[in-house]
Amino acid sequence: DQQVKQNSPSLSVQEGRISILNCDYTNSMFDYFLWYKKYPAEGPTFLISISSIKDKNEDGRFTVFLNKSAKHLSLHIVPSQPGDSAVYFCAASDRDDKIIFGKGTRLHILP
């Protein structure tokens, strides 16, 4: 039973355009959401997060949107750059501070 779902295993976006990565969750007890970025042979690095009391958090080119009623969050990267090519993991946390990860979406930025 996957509590955090990333339904797109891969995504290709032209350099300079907007990349939108999607994530759905099922557990209404989740109150904190995170995005991680992972390059090959490295561990995932924290990218951006959002608390359930907000619906948007922005950090430079990265914006995370949270739609609690739809149990959906998305990561927007604009403009997309070649170095953004990586695997992106969505994760959710509850009050116990345990983190549940999605399976990841591989983003390819095309020249």
Partner 1 sequence: DTAVSQTPKYLVTQMGNDKSIKCEQNLGHDTMYWYKQDSKKFLKIMFSYNNKELIINETVPNRFSPKSPDKAHLNLHINSLELGDSAVYFCASSQSGEQFFGPGTRLTVL
Instruction: List interacting residues with partner 1 (CB under 8 A).
Output: 9, 34, 36, 38, 41-46, 49, 87, 89, 93, 97-101, 103-104, 106
Instruction: Give least dist CB 42 to partner 1, A.
Output: 7
Distance set, CA 94 to CA 6, 7, 34, 78, 111 (Å): 18, 22, 12, 29, 39
Closest CA to 65 of 110, 11, 22, 101: 22
Name the residue nearer to partner 1 (CB basis): 65 or 101. Answer: 101
Instruction: Give least dist CB 45 to partner 1, A.
Output: 7
Instruction: Give least dist CB 106 to partner 1, A.
Output: 6
The H or E element containing residue 106 is strand 105-110
Name the residue nearer to partner 1 (CB basis): 10 or 16. Answer: 10
* Secondary structure (3-state) at 82: helix
Name the residue nearer to partner 1 (CB basis): 14 or 45. Answer: 45
Name the residue nearer to partner 1 (CB basis): 22 or 49. Answer: 49
Instruction: Give least dist CB 69 to partner 1, A.
Output: 25
